[in-house]
Structure 1
């Protein structure tokens, strides 16, 4: 039995033996969560008292797989930058292509990301999404973990197991400064701006990052890119000079408002400041990346071992409008396929075949064909977890589907984010439950 599964069983046995005690413990945790800043769209996130557990072998597996994946990512990005014919496969707008080609002044194309996987404690997991642009949810993950770490149940577990959770704020400050130090005009103590459009970002999370930057002695503001001015060779927010920007505004929103952020873009092009969160992240963030990886005709420059990795860990993906000969197969075998828009996020516009009847599925396929920007992907089975959930005055065992997010800072595994749900899509915060993650040393 996997060590993590053993710990989970021990967790459940403790509660079974003293349920009343741990119901009170759950209520204390719930009260602390209600007073926390783990808020999405005005509401406290839903959380699970039963954690996800991992051990050093799980972590080593994630580290190894991410190292191989980043080898592939860096090869693909390099080919994109240097090969016009290859660049055309992505079919980005001229505007986005120009932004991607701007040199950010440091080496990594994806400084920060959250790569979501379907993980069931075996090494054959699939990557279901690569969030390399505006990656979020650090505050949700760490808030529930910090509160749960101080709970009676975790204190009880810590009598027998050396448990920790992965910290996601101070660790980012360390990595962003490592990236920034590659920048030609890097300063010893840069002024930092966290950049996103007002009312589109996650303000409570930005405040946590601001605290971590300031704790490191860095003056920090949160700013809308539309309110910035490029003058005298520097980018300014009122009287605040910006040396280092942590960009959270996603590429799609930037492109949509390109005429409103001209000073910001011009200053970036001139390297008047260092923007960590380059437009190059679009290369992997757009789901066309999965189609290009799984199409050997397009990525023949990858090695055999890299192709083996793709076959094992990246679901088969096709451009729907270019593979109309597959339509009948997709219609007849709906349970095996998913329709995904190329460049939306938070599971918007995703249709899973097994969630629909035959007629509705055909309608979804036709709708996707008419839009012209849809991919069809092999359906991957989510992870599974039997978890205790407080319901009706007691703990009840429920079966959940799970998605595990791997936070990646400066191309290295940094942390975990678990979501559970009953549906095949476990993405929207309104339809999923966040679970704390603990690693046993």
Structure 2
């Protein structure tokens, strides 16, 4: 059993000794309201109590993250090199074309975040989803850590323990890894202009600015562009209009933060980026092959005999232990009547989406609502494929949420919230945790989900 719960109780005791530390709670929320932690135009909600992880937890999360990366790379490598294997996926032919475009550098999966439910008493784990394209949250973690760093409760706890964060690894660590990957690019130039590219209406633009400044500190110019503001002249990919940085600039390397389904939705206006990659005139760090990880049918693919043949016995056992049953929500693959009758066991999701869009947990519904949801999404009825997945009960921990209302300050008792841990992996190396909590079965911002600072406690390996 980890010491996480005892650390959390100790932290809550420090708050109690400070008569609730109302000044600290107000200061933390005020910091957030003036911070760069903005999601779709709104300041993110946070926790006053950080997630406090011990050495045992760090080691377990590192093993989960890096084992998962090795398995996913094997799937990607086989898909790229073996045409016979590609039938394990059901993909739009345009997506297949994107996935097979040349990469030109060594890293198969440069940047990912694997979201996992961890029972912090038993260390058993079950995955929620894998994220490659567009993985984010680093800036939320940074700002929320800063919001509590100077509070009396945090100082009192820190005086009794050795504490550390993952902020440096998540920011400077990614810039270092990006530049290392670019150094392996076949057509690299000595002084590259780096671009961060996304569809900006759905982007975390404040986070982009921070990374652009960190690149600049390394002597590398970095600009931010909307994918639709790129032009390809046959020889160069050009950022025509910069959101941040330089207009009409040649792009040598692009960090793709745009998820592939947004590329598909904006197919015609994404062609300059696609054609530049096809012509090998830009290093796209985060190739379109990352879609093989992003698409939630990966959970089903991992159980197929063709995939099991690629993995070691230990890796197959890991999949069995951590990946919940997953199938397309089609009558040919699952008994839809059984899914309706046992709603608390299931959650349904689109195979290719993000931000918890169109995710439904049976526990959130009554029987009639659930039956209607199944009918509306099964067998392609929603116009896009959905999966059904075994619902994993999250581990609950005590916290004090900060939503920006008076209850933030007057709340005397901590609330037991569900946990979801996003494990960042930079080119195979575990670098940190995106710690999210919420009161509902689906943990996300629209269900009053909050983000907590990630703090390693008394762990020399995490320093």
Q: What is the TM-score when the length of structure 2 is the normalising length?
A: 0.90
Contact 1:108 1:411 in 2 (8 A): no
What does residue 454 of structure 2 align with? 437
Moved over 6 A (4+): none
Distance in structure 1 (CA, Å) of the matches to 2:164 and 2:216:
25
Aligned pairs (5 A) from 1:64-143: 64-121=63-120, 122-143=122-143
Q: Which residue of 1 aligns with 2:301?
A: 292
Instruction: Check the 8 A contact 1:23/1:394 in 2, yes or no.
Output: no
Q: Quick check: 1:389–1:395 contact (8 Å CA) kept in 2?
A: no
Q: CA deviation at 1:92?
A: 1.1
Cα offset for 1:395? 3.2
Secondary structure of 1:345's counterpart equals coil
Residue in structure 2 matched with residue 44 of structure 1 by the alignment: 43
Structure 2 residue aligned with 1:395? 412
The offset of 1:306, in angstroms, is: 1.6
Give the equivalent residue in structure 2 for 1:154.
154
Q: For residue 175 of structure 2, give the secondary structure of its aligned residue in structure 1.
A: helix
CA contact (8 A) 2:5 2:397 kept: no
Shift of 1:399: 1.1
- The match for 1:336 is 345
How far apart are 1:297 and its partner, in Å? 6.1
Name the structure 2 match of 1:428: 445
Q: d(CA) in 2 for partners of 1:327 and 1:4?
A: 40
Unpaired runs of at least 5, structure 1:
none
SS of equivalent to 1:406? strand
1:386 corresponds to:
398
Distance of 2:446 and 2:157 partners within structure 1: 29
CA contact (8 A) 2:109 2:286 kept: yes
Is the aligned partner of 1:172 residue 2:163? no
| Worse overlay, 293-302 or 413-422 | 293-302
Query: Match of 1:268, SS?
Result: helix
1:221-247 Cα distance to aligned partner (Å, 9 max, x none): 111222222236222224312111111
Following superposition, the deviation at residue 310 of structure 1 comes to: 0.6
After superposition, the C-alpha distances for 1:135-155 in whole angstroms (9 at most, x for unaligned) are 111111111112322322211
Aligned residue number for residue 416 of structure 1: 433
CA distance in 2, matches of 1:82, 1:401: 41
Q: Relative to structure 1, is the Cα distance of residues 116 and 107 closer, same or farther in structure 2, using a 3 angstrom cutoff?
A: same
Contact 1:294 1:317 (8 Å CA) reproduced: no
Structure 1 residues 251-260 or 75-84, which shifts more? 75-84
**2:3 paired residue number:** 3
Q: Hey, what does 1:193 align to over in structure 2?
A: 195
State the alpha-carbon separation in 1 of the partners of residues 438 and 230 from structure 2: 40
Decide whether the 8 Å contact of 2:131 with 2:294 is kept in 1.
yes
Residue of structure 2 equivalent to 1:352: 361
Unaligned runs of 5+ in 2: 241-247
CA offset at residue 298 of structure 1?
Answer: 5.5
Tell which deviates more after alignment, 306-315 or 26-35.
Answer: 26-35
Alpha-carbon distance, 1:49 to partner: 0.3
- The DSSP-based 3-state class of the residue aligned with 2:203 is coil
**Residue 190 of structure 1 aligns to a residue in which SS?**
coil
Aligned partner of 1:407 in structure 2 is 424
Distance 1:337 1:84 in 2: 33
Partner SS for 1:294: coil
1:237 and 2:239 equivalent? yes
2:205 aligns with 203
* Matching residue within 256, 267, 276 for 2:265: 256
Give distance in 2, aligned partners of 1:291 and 1:415: 27
CA contact (8 A) 1:245 1:275 kept: yes
**What is the aligned length?**
440
| Residues 1:358 and 1:174: Cα distance change in structure 2 (over 3 Å) | same
Q: 2:276 aligns with which of 262, 267, 282?
A: 267
Find the counterpart in structure 1 of residue 335 from structure 2. 326
1:130 is displaced (CA, Å) by 0.4
Instruction: Report how far residue 115 of structure 1 moved.
Output: 1.0
Contact 1:114 1:131 in 2 (8 A): yes
Residues in 2 aligned to 1:345 and 1:264: alpha-carbon distance in whole angstroms? 22
Return the offset for 1:389: 4.4
